[in-house]
Structure 1
Amino acid sequence: MSTIYRLAAGAVVALGSLIGLNAATQAADTIHNTPSTVCESCHKEIYRQWKGSMHANSTALNDPIHGTFYKKVVGDPLQEDVKTKAGAYPVCLQCHAPNAAIEKSTKLDAKESYNEGVNCVACHTLKSFKGINAPGGKLRLGMLSYERVDTLQGPAGFTNGLQQLSAATDMFGGATAADGDKPNPHLGEPVTLDGKEIPALTMESNPGLMKSNAACMGCHDKRNNAHGVPLCATGNEYMVSKSDVTCQYCHMPMVNNMADHSMGGGHDDGMLKRSIVFTMDTQTEGDKIKVTARLKNQQPHALPTGAPFRNIVLKLTAYDSTGQVLWENAPEHPAKDDPQAYFAYLLADDAGKDAMPPTATQLGADTRLRPHEQRELGYEIPAEGVALVRGEVHYNLLWKVLADQFTHLPEDLRSSRTIAVAEARL
């Protein structure tokens, strides 16, 4: 088993053994129903990483925030034949439950592969990216934006052609070559592993897709609501940055010769802390302390990006020698008290008032940090008694109004996360 694992892991594919049933009876067109627990047989570490990712928890049954909006806007994720108010199949399932979307199902617990969200086969059967702009000006999102195939797609595949040529003239049939005597399902040979019959499933090399942003943009490019208002536009933000860094470079870095399938993003503390550089300078002039706070976006897209209700706030506080608060930039919330310290993507209704994603008819203010932007904020603080000025950058998954309203959500989804801190002693 270790040999098989080493071969497949080197190819960086989150699919080791597929369809651990009778291989010969498995039709190729059912590959999207293959649960990732089958892949775990060989790819244990990759499976462990993926299992803790938001991709593995993307459905309305496992992502509490998405589930809340889904139930309000679409309906019950445990019911079949659910339609939108316009009578259409819910487009959000194209990304959040792609295997269910392929079969036009809305009952997300009907099959294990549905409830696994973006699982192994959801990504590793994508052949090419058609783009999200369909003829006629409409958007085609998620699975609709790709050509899918029943042959596994990997970033490297198995370059064993030379070995096969050598084996033809080798009296030992190539059996003495490294791993030559160990069958591998991706090399076209069935495998018996832990009592399971693993079928011969050839894997194609497809680095043009798997190592490019195209593998991600079907879901992470742009999403409009029913009124045509962009709710997220990470792809557009990336294009503006003119960066050559791929999504995988940051979100799936190579670790021990394998791409990390944790795929950290807006829920990952490590990713959030690396996303920003926060520094602060202070200068006392008379009875005032002048503070310059600098926030530098390290990413080739906006900060924050993705779901429109994600936001960042800067909290600036002056303390005396006993740790008592003498001054704050935003005693309640910066959206009201200090708008320059609120970094958010807001949506509005026809009257220009704040609106929720499903009902917004136009964009509101967009005060987020642009790709690679460094922004300076200036403050003047009364100097009397001040011993320390502390700045904290907080990341929120939800607008405050939603965090206050969605009391059923786990506290860690409703609370701020501190992603950067700077202090100046006086």
Structure 2
Amino acid sequence: MKIFLLVIFLILELNANDYIKSNTCKACHPTIYSEFYNSSHRKSSIHEDPIHKAVWNLHPNKKDEKYTCAKCHTPTDLELLNNLKNDKKALPIKNEVQTQEAISCVYCHSIKNIEEHSKVNDNKLTDKNKVYYSANEENKKLKDKKFKNESSMFGMMKKKSGSPFHHIDYSNKDYYTGKMCMGCHNKLQNNNSFNLCEVDMKAVDIKEEKNCISCHMPKVEGSATSIKITKTHRFHGFSSSTNNQDLLAKYIKIDFKQNLSNFEVSIKNEATHNLFLQPLRVAMLKISILKDSKVIKKEERSFVRIIGKDGKATMPWLANSEVKNTMIKAKEKRVLTFDYKLDSSNTVEVVFGYYKVNPKVLKKLKLENHKESTTFNVLKSEFYKAQ
């Protein structure tokens, strides 16, 4: 009876809307929907992401009334995309799509394959009605999983599988390697043919121990669905510098070495891509030397990728080169030496973290009073007792 009522609800919801809303998915996937709702995917539009809005406010395309970020930041807004395609006024109007599901559940689970291009890739969506792609290691060859309500032992044992709302295609290998993320996250090139950000495609190699899915959508406790209870599910909060960063902190390793006249701190980036990809980010190592619990010396080292033109930092649309790049690369171990002779009375505090927005551009972006932009986010914090 419960399943029957759920099916009726979903059918009514679908028929009431030409556009399938993400909160429709909540009926069967409450935990996953809750994670999605707090994610950077749901909040990717200018109406939900103040940093993206600050950049867009300075973008020359705003004056031309062409929101060219829509392809990746609001791909669910079909009206906006259609206006862009037809060279009409295309600005992100504050509406339900923009505020509730700029990148929706159905959109991501409809990506059939990625078409690669030099400037930015294209997501190619399936044309099959109510057939969504997903990953399940036990059903990799299954292309059309349907809902089943089976019983055995004279009806005493019941087993449910599939969805009463849609079919599932588990055979798409891109959902296991992470390539389905690469329509938006592989690269972005500006009109100067300069790569603003780029992720090496080797990061999605199926033989890699770590890829987009395993790192940013790790398995966590909780059932994937309310129909068939499972112990774990893939995390749909999409761990990043914006959200659930603690899930990513484990890919950063810090070591300490005391020498006769100095000491070393090493940082290893175990991710398959550079530590931070967004040019606005600044990673920072903060060192505090204590003597008998009192701080006697502080030092900082920053790691940045600054883009610009003629040797000067600029906004992304003007950049044609890297002005500076000290960001820790994929799999790199960076060793930093500090010229200070430690003794047994010293303790060294090592803090590694980042700023979402480079403090040097806060004023230009008018984000000086935006807490999320000005906060130093701690990823790792360790104390080392000197000998």
TM-score, normalised to structure 1, is: 0.72
Q: How does 1:137-152 map to 2 (within 5 A)?
A: 138-141=118-121, 144-149=122-127, 150-152=129-131
Change over 3 Å in CA distance of 1:113–1:346 after alignment to 2? closer
For structure 1, the 5+ residue unaligned runs are 9-15, 75-82, 187-200, 331-340
Q: How does 1:11-410 map to 2 (within 5 A)?
A: 20-21=12-13, 23=15, 30=18, 33-73=19-59, 89-101=66-78, 102-104=81-83, 106-112=91-97, 115-131=100-116, 133=117, 138-141=118-121, 144-149=122-127, 150-155=129-134, 178=158, 184-186=163-165, 201-235=166-200, 238=203, 243=208, 245-255=210-220, 256-267=231-242, 268-283=244-259, 285=260, 288=261, 290-305=262-277, 307-325=278-296, 327-330=297-300, 341-350=301-310, 352-383=311-342, 387-403=346-362, 405=364, 406-407=366-367, 410=370
Check whether the contact 2:178–2:204 (CA below 8 A) recurs between aligned residues.
no
Once the two structures are TM-superposed, the CA of residue 241 in structure 1 deviates from its matched residue by: 12
Q: Distance in 2 between matches of 1:293 and 1:413?
A: 27
Once the two structures are TM-superposed, the CA of residue 239 in structure 1 deviates from its matched residue by: 7.2
Given residue 414 of structure 1, which amino acid in structure 2 is its aligned partner? T
| DSSP-derived class of the 2:313 partner | coil
Once the two structures are TM-superposed, the CA of residue 408 in structure 1 deviates from its matched residue by: 5.4
Report how many aligned residue pairs link the two structures: 360
Check whether the contact 2:112–2:123 (CA below 8 A) recurs between aligned residues.
no
Change over 3 Å in CA distance of 1:417–1:17 after alignment to 2? farther
| DSSP-derived class of the 1:38 partner | helix
Change over 3 Å in CA distance of 1:115–1:359 after alignment to 2? farther
Change over 3 Å in CA distance of 1:41–1:371 after alignment to 2? same
Once the two structures are TM-superposed, the CA of residue 207 in structure 1 deviates from its matched residue by: 2.9
Check whether the contact 2:252–2:270 (CA below 8 A) recurs between aligned residues.
yes
* Greater share of residues in strand: 2
For structure 2, the 5+ residue unaligned runs are 84-89, 221-230
Structure with bigger gyration radius: 1
Q: Distance in 1 between matches of 2:285 and 2:99?
A: 39
Calculate percent identity across the aligned residue pairs.
19
For residues 396-415 of structure 1, give each alpha carbon's deviation from its aligned partner in whole angstroms, at most 9, with x where no partner exists. 11112124553355313321
Check whether the contact 1:19–1:34 (CA below 8 A) recurs between aligned residues.
no
Q: Distance in 2 between matches of 1:183 and 1:420?
A: 41
